[in-house]
A and B are shown apart, each in its own frame.
Chain A
């Protein structure tokens, strides 16, 4: 060996902060709800939105009351029966194209606002949330005058007024996922963003207003669960779309029982990420990291269960830990931050509590030694080993940067363990053997299967769950069908 003693450069590569300016987010002191084309005060109590990274108040949001829901649904009905349904698909599409463009124009502002309000790293809001939101509008815009090609007759009819309730993990993107297909199909919308993350939805409202969208076509009403409940249960709503937790999804399905109202639910998950011994190991490590630490793990389709072949388990987990050590947890506005803050005190407490349960149940917890900011809802990336399938950390959705590791011996066992859950949203498979990848994809009971990749999304590709992960799809032709009257059964 030629191991002469090199001069040490003694370089300290803690990257200097590369902060995106908070001023770009142009956060206003107060946001009003968007109702019938106007920005107006709601009759509900003001909500103070907290910056999860600093715990300082970010802004104040005027929230809706139950009467405001009535007004919004009436406005949406009027718009549906008025200009929106009289307009041709091509014109409708042009509005959506405009909106897509406008999101792109204001992308930097939206990204900063999203990171300030939600706590997610600017790298993700900038490179994923905002561009994908624009892409959703652009993709669906093109559908508006081509609905006859979907296979539901020459001119499938919209359903009417869509009541939509979205979560706090991808505030702008979820709004886009909901609004774009609804409008492309010819519906009007009343949307309720999550209580803790209304800012970008209301910036989107400004974009809609600037685009000249007729009043009432989209109404955005901030509020808490009671407003969501009033909206989904409203008699004037023809279609309900909800993304959120499985318990709330079940409640909504119950509330709508017997109404015949069309419902789509995108609920929780406990995604399995299965690593075979023949996997491309370095990329599998990346895929596991991306699968569970993307957006601080606050992703319904997160790969929160690592199911790794026993013959490589110890070595693989060591590599994984080494890689996780390099994740940079910190200020969401720092362009080099990999993991930001979780969204709320409630979520922080839930993650912490379930992690404690994991340790109490006998699993071994490992956490990254990365320094955490002193203030803010930051959680160190955590990996549980020595877990068993019956533990709560292996069954319940944690919705945080916490990975639970299980092992398997044969492909059949991997499949059985992966499918051993009432959920069925996502799964990952890492193997270099094509036939096995296809075989696993066929056998996994989940709506999205990622072979040798994870957390990929596209407006052209259907997304949604099996079982208790919900029903109905978003994206692709099946996502549009969820906003059309597709009942083609002859009626007497």
Chain B
């Protein structure tokens, strides 16, 4: 007689902890064959609110860390993913009915994607900033800074690579993230959250909500303390309303027209979408009195 499996309940990841939905709601996740895989938390408006509060706190910790440190933490995520590679592969196989080889390929690409972004953290000012050749006695430089709390709707097309591809650029840029996982794949998303929780990612820097995009995203889009909104995972037809809500507080929106090919080498657009440019000016002088002698 086969052993009866223990079915896991996948909970939310908010502020470094794994709470149930405050609403107490769950939904059932079934595999390709329709067998119950697990129960997942069905996040509510209040869970979204709590996640934003956690992300705001996480933003201070994350943006205040050194770029080298952020790079190391992101690289640690890749290490932990590598360690839990087979678990991720198994989950993808059972949830999507992919072959083991296909699932392995997705997991490997995802790990490599994390490594790619781990290497970005200390290059952004060099690539997107620099000294400004101003015509006056001032030292002026422009450098990118994270915009703050970014709310992300993860795409549905596959469970892991799109999730990693939308979360990591925002993180590499120094933002904190509230990500609403693909409704179909909460198990992979929450497993990814468990990896984050054991990867030295400070509490609140990434917050994972599971449930219905249509229910949660409007609250995140209209939330005044959300600075950026990534609508990649929202179908084009449903974006307008969310963007209108975002406009009420001039929230930055990333809503790519063309469906991204996450298997391609990523560019920088996703990081730039949630970077501000800060320009600083400072007078240059004080080494002699001759500056004034021409008057």
Contacts and interface: CB of A to CB of B under 8 A. Distances in A.
Q: When A and B assemble into the complex, do they touch directly, with CB atoms less than 8 Å apart? A: yes
Interface of A: 135, 151, 246, 249-251, 253-254, 256-258, 260, 265, 267, 422, 437, 441, 446-453, 456, 458, 460-464, 466-471, 473, 476-478, 481, 486-492
Given A249-B250, A489-B266, 12 more contacts: A250-B247, A254-B247, A258-B240, A447-B278, A451-B280, A452-B282, A456-B134, A461-B132, A466-B276, A489-B256, A490-B263, A491-B259
Nearest to B238: A258
A448 B281 contact: yes
A478 to B, nearest CB: 5
B64 to A, nearest CB: 9
What 10 pairs between A and B have smallest CB-CB spacing?
A490-B264, A488-B267, A258-B240, A257-B243, A253-B247, A491-B258, A458-B134, A461-B132, A492-B261, A490-B261
B280 A449 contact: yes
Contacts of A487: 256, 258, 267, 269
B68 interface: no
Contacts of B257: 260
Contacts of B280: 441, 448-451
Interface string B215-245: 0000000001001000000001001111110
A478 B247 CA distance: 22
B5 interface: no
Interface stretch (B15-23, B91-99, B135-143): B135-143
26 contacts: A251-B247, A257-B242, A258-B240, A260-B255, A260-B256, A265-B250, A447-B276, A447-B277, A449-B281, A451-B280, A451-B281, A451-B283, A452-B283, A453-B283, A456-B140, A458-B140, A461-B281, A467-B250, A471-B250, A471-B252, A476-B132, A477-B128, A487-B269, A489-B266, A490-B267, A491-B258
Contact of B277 (A246, A464, A490): A464
A415 to B, nearest CB: 12
Contacts of B102: none
B288 interface: no
B247 A257 contact: yes
Contacts of B236: 258
A258 B278 CA distance: 28
B164 to A, nearest CB: 14
Nearest to B227: A467
A468 to B, nearest CB: 5
B187 to A, nearest CB: 25
A472 to B, nearest CB: 9
Given A490-B267, A491-B260, A461 B239 contact: no
B259 A478 contact: no
B279 A447 contact: yes
A299 to B, nearest CB: 15
B116 interface: no
Contacts of B224: 422
A421 to B, nearest CB: 13
Contacts of A478: 128, 142, 277
Interface in B71-99: none
A466 B140 CA distance: 18
A463 B267 contact: no
B127 A151 contact: yes
Contact of B279 (A135, A246, A461): A461
Nearest to A464: B277
A489 to B, nearest CB: 5
A462 B279 contact: yes
B287 to A, nearest CB: 15
A446 B278 contact: yes
Contacts of A458: 132, 134-136, 140
Contacts of A151: 127-128
A455 to B, nearest CB: 10
B133 to A, nearest CB: 5
A257 B244 contact: yes
